[in-house]
Chains A and B, each alone.
Chain A
Amino acid sequence: SQQGEEDPQALSIQEGENATMNCSYKTSINNLQWYRQNSGRGLVHLILIRSNEREKHSGRLRVTLDTSKKSSSLLITASRAADTASYFCATSRAAGNKLTFGGGTRVLVKP
């Protein structure tokens, strides 16, 4: 069964707005990762945050991790139409090990 739950399941915003999605998980983790998938294609790795980190930035992406609440958030700032995709969080209990995926958030950015 999937460990992670993501909300919202779907998000529709205007270009230029920020998009925030959340991920919760159930067990202890080594790291949490966020991926993007366009139209059922392969996954693109966005960012990895380790269990001893609380916040990480990469370009327009900001990820937070709260291990006490077993939750993470992904913020996409100044969204663009090209950000339209499904976003998945995935947890790993050991570095380089198998991933357990959340249900995903479908983001639609309207031009």
Chain B
Amino acid sequence: SAVISQKPSRDICQRGTSLTIQCQVDSQVTMMFWYRQQPGQSLTLIATANQGSEATYESGFVIDKFPISRPNLTFSTLTVSNMSPEDSSIYLCSVHAETQYFGPGTRLLVL
């Protein structure tokens, strides 16, 4: 099993600013995944983060907007850069450890 924590749990930000979301796992995992869930919508994968290499981004997501760090096998950060109201979403990190586990999410509101 895996226990995932995220910080912050929620935030309200002004447009044009950036927010870094942290994801901590209680065990070492190879891949960490970052998802976005826009209001009332399903989850969409932003990128896959492997330790020691650059993240792999899905179509529609770019590194300049969503830079990701993966300094070790238990931790990752996702930054939402130059935010606009359209970035208001829940951001979730996820890992695979026998099954898929999700963090509690970071609820972001951009004004």
Contacts and interface: CB of A to CB of B under 8 A. Distances in A.
Interface of A: 2, 33, 35, 40-43, 45, 48, 88, 90, 96-104
Specify which of B43, B44, B48, B101 lies most central, judged by the most chain A CB atoms within 10 Å of its CB: B43
A97 B29 CA distance: 12
State the majority secondary structure of interface residues on A. loop
Contact of B42 (A45, A96, A97, A101): A101
Contacts of B43: 43, 88, 90, 99, 101
B63 interface: no
7 contacts: A2-B42, A40-B90, A41-B104, A42-B92, A42-B105, A96-B31, A101-B42
Given A2-B42, A88-B42, A101-B42, A42 B48 contact: no
Contacts, number: 49
Interface in B25-61: 31, 33, 37, 41-45, 48
B81 to A, nearest CB: 22
A37 B100 CA distance: 14
B45 A98 contact: yes
Interface of B: 31, 33, 37, 41-45, 48, 90, 92, 94, 96, 99-105, 107
Nearest to B39: A40
Nearest to B30: A96
B104 A45 contact: no
B30 to A, nearest CB: 8
B104 A42 contact: yes
Contacts of A33: 99-100
A101 B44 contact: yes
A33 B96 CA distance: 13
A35 B105 CA distance: 15
Contacts of A42: 92, 102-105
